Structure 1
């Protein structure tokens, strides 16, 4: 009985403690910008999500901080890391240099190379074209790109990496097929059309991750929008969602100003002849802009419910295990019924990870411009927000 008499006082004390200004522990990880709990509205693509309680926010912030300190304790972050729930930022930190020669520091507005996380955004543009009736999921690519030499390959096969296409990173290094100079998306298509390069496997036979799929999807976007991919992405996704720090890299325009990438020993990873190919990579963005994108994916005004049901469905079941691939997104599908959507990236010294827990409306983003596998481990935070069967050391 005495417990029940003092319980209200205990609850009041906890509430007062939780309502305090963020603790120094949290603030010390934001050396370049103050955190805003909620990003500016991206109406009409801002869904209504429940506001988090101070107690919940403090609890989760402490859990993420503990993970961050253990994950990066021996190697400093050179990039950005953000965790949010219901669009409210729980944890955000930036560090390192965008350019070691000029000593330009990375901050919340520094656009970093997303590497293959770019595929998520390319796929979204394609799916918006499908939503608008300008494209069909099972439409053959040669009905859009007449010179495309493989008759049976469809849009869906490109999105799900089931086309069997050869990898352009390999055949563009063959001097018999390419004589040097910066490669473009059209060059990749022209080489395949001219030389009829053999497919890796029969279309739709099995999953085979291949960047060429998304190079072709970028050309599909250009063909159907009558715009350059860079302009199409800006008009369809970046501008509507106020992703003001996001852009598609243009070698001639951005080679002097873009954030650079570095090897693990801080040696510069210089640009090369494949650095002007886009769709599979070459989108530069920030954790905050990616959060804006992720929150928009919950809105019926951004993508239809029919399309979203198709996105987060696995299409490659020929191999046992939890790993699968949807429409432009990787999936972990457990027997318990839990599902985690994510995509990782790696290009030169850039590594990236985008994790979206749809059932729990949680966003986890890590971007690095110095080679590190640390960003790939942030998925382990999922178990702090739901019943995901993920083991992680405490």
Structure 2
């Protein structure tokens, strides 16, 4: 019989402990997309809709669509759903005018600032997993960050006071616009060029793309993944969003569906087209429906945390319009609330409307400039007590 010395046994036990510890602490994809239950997340549709209900809504929606986008003028995708069930959808026009590729349900379009809703959701997911804290100072995450009072919450709610990168990088003494700007470049410029705050942090609201470009860097810092991979791990893959991706400026310019002006003339790439977090997610109406169903599911993350996204944080002056955590809203004195986010980048326009009480989702995307995209908010009046009229004009981003 072979005898093993006690010292060897201790060494083996120590080695086993170290291997187990490394396995448990790695920043794996499974860990990042983990749910509270440690099980794979499954999208759940709500109760089925009766044919009578569907037909009553479908006729009104179709009339609205034909009135606002005659002759295939949307050039994109449009969808209305309740309980996760699609009541009406339509895809018209050309995803690519040069190749004459027709628009379909799987045509991924740039969703512009609706990307902010997804970035915010990823941040909330990391908070849910105790990898971030809503009140955490950005200085604890990004080395050299020059604004000591700015928190994650300030970035999410556009109350940081940081200036919009598109306004200070257009000055030649700040940035050479022949060079492509990156997210890290933005932070470096804030530090090295000593860009002052526009106003004292948390003193008021100012919609600012820089906030979400910084949040994307924070997602990368916490996950150890590039933003495009982290978003796939945290949101796209768990929710089955197979036609959704983060645009990579170096890799995707030849394959991404282009952006057009109203006359189908092409928008060319510019020095701001590599920035992500505030924009640069491509998606489809069906994938955005999956996203809406997922983020409103109590199994995706804690309902009390999601509830914070639907609270308005800008109440300095009395008014109807407000902003939560990656979510625009209208709060009427009657107590009724309307939640949405619009997007606009180059010729891309997008509208994402979520009605949690009615479990209704309304999506419109177009890659040929058209302000009518924003009018889809008026369809909310078909499902609840919303003071919209179907022939009212919509608003921009």
- Secondary structure of the residue that 2:333 maps to in structure 1? coil
Equivalent of 1:145 in 120, 139, 142: 142
Which residues of 2 match residues 1-394 of structure 1 at below 5 A? 44-47=41-44, 49-73=46-70, 76-179=73-176, 180-393=178-391
Q: TM-score, normalised by structure 2?
A: 0.87
| Structure 1: gaps spanning 5 or more residues | 1-41
Distance 2:70 2:255 in 1: 30
- Secondary structure of the residue that 2:250 maps to in structure 1? helix
Distance 1:90 1:140 in 2: 44
- Point out the more displaced range, 279-288 or 170-179: 170-179
Contact 1:45 1:302 in 2 (8 A): no
- Alpha-carbon spacing, 1:379–1:43, altered in 2? closer, same or farther (3 Å): farther
Runs of at least 4 residues off by over 3 Å: none
Distance 1:96 1:355 in 2: 23
| Structure 1 residue 274, shift from structure 2 partner | 0.7
| Structure 1 residue 305, shift from structure 2 partner | 1.0
- Point out the more displaced range, 233-242 or 71-80: 71-80
- Alpha-carbon spacing, 1:381–1:222, altered in 2? closer, same or farther (3 Å): same
Count of aligned residue pairs for this structure pair: 353
Distance 2:361 2:227 in 1: 26
| Structure 2: gaps spanning 5 or more residues | 1-38, 393-397
Structure 1 equivalent of residue 395 of structure 2: none
| Structure 1 residue 256, shift from structure 2 partner | 0.3
| Structure 1 residue 300, shift from structure 2 partner | 1.4
| Structure 1 residue 43, shift from structure 2 partner | 6.8
Distance 2:42 2:167 in 1: 40
Q: What is the RMSD computed on CA atoms of the aligned residues?
A: 1.4
Distance 1:340 1:47 in 2: 23
Contact 2:45 2:85 in 1 (8 A): no
Distance 2:189 2:60 in 1: 50
- Secondary structure of the residue that 1:355 maps to in structure 2? strand
Distance 1:178 1:321 in 2: 37
Give a deviation string over 1:87-133, Cα, whole Å, max 9, x none: 00011101111221111111110100000000000000000010000
Distance 1:43 1:59 in 2: 36
| Structure 1 residue 47, shift from structure 2 partner | 3.7
